[in-house]
Structure 1
Amino acid sequence: MDLKDRKRTTRQRLFRSFCCAWAGLTLVVRHEQNMKFHLLAAAAAVICGFVFSIPLFHWMILVVIIGGMLALEVMNTAVERVVDMITEDYHPAAEKAKDIAAAAVLVYSAAAVVIGILIFYEPVMSRLFS
């Protein structure tokens, strides 16, 4: 947000902030392969939630996990862009920063898979073997 935006009313600044956030999200969805994969996985989880009629508490967990995963992927993309902006040349520290940000996504993804298994194991098994 520009300095000139600080002179606007609170409502105008808030609207501008949402517009900037939406533009960033749109950019990540359009141009990042991993975000497309995460959105596909999220859609599959939501569809499975409806198919297997998971309870409300599981829906709440699912929403938090999906939101966290998407937010973390957005932050990973932001870190990568900032590192790319700072240096176009190869630098070991730049590579490490990008790798560490990607590792955060990997760790959260692994936890999301485990939570998904815990949520869907019983409904899937009861549907298959009933």
Structure 2
Amino acid sequence: MSSGLKETKKKKKGIGLRYALKGVNFVWAEEKNFKIHSLSAVCVILLGFLFRLSNTEWLFLMFSITIVFVTEMLNSAFESLVDELYPHYHPIAGKVKDIAAGSVLIAAIGAAITGFIIFVPKIIFLIF
């Protein structure tokens, strides 16, 4: 492979990362719920260190946190696109936005259940 082609691929990878970080920054700056989920994630991670979670518990916890972040970002992307395509109310636009928001709700409920399964026994053991 020529060095020019390698250099072009490196630049494209850097640009892709830059766009990805720009997307994360946009969601952080514009979406209140993303900040709430981020604060929750930090608290849960700190609790994980406090309770010295096993590798398996960390795996489930981090997977749950990641799923919530991903669904929140996809929800934001759908909302932005739908708002651009349908500046005025349209039933399909409302349906798409509701479904996307529902995916975040399901992910957050799943993450909360995972957190309860992991932390409640540890808290009960600590209290009693």
> What is the TM-score normalised by the length of structure 2?
0.92
Give the aligned partner of residue 112 of structure 2.
113
- Give the SS at the match of 1:99: helix
Give the aligned partner of residue 52 of structure 2.
53
| CA offsets 1:23-70 (integer angstroms, 9 cap, x no match) | 010010111011011001101110110111111110111111111111
Pairwise CA RMSD: 1.0
Asked if 1:78 is matched to 2:72, the reply is no
- Give the SS at the match of 1:9: helix
Task: After TM superposition, list the pairs within 5 Å mapping 1:1-130 onto structure 2.
Answer: 9-129=8-128
* Structure 2 gap ranges (5+): 1-6
> What is the TM-score normalised by the length of structure 1?
0.91
| C-alpha distance in structure 1 between counterparts of 2:52 and 2:121, whole Å | 12
| C-alpha distance in structure 1 between counterparts of 2:38 and 2:17, whole Å | 21
| C-alpha distance in structure 1 between counterparts of 2:107 and 2:22, whole Å | 25
**Runs ≥4 in structure 1, deviation > 4 angstroms?**
none
Report how many residues are paired. Answer: 122
| C-alpha distance in structure 2 between counterparts of 1:68 and 1:19, whole Å | 22
| C-alpha distance in structure 2 between counterparts of 1:29 and 1:72, whole Å | 14
Task: Among all aligned residue pairs of Structure 1 and Structure 2, give the percentage whose two residues are the same amino acid.
Answer: 32
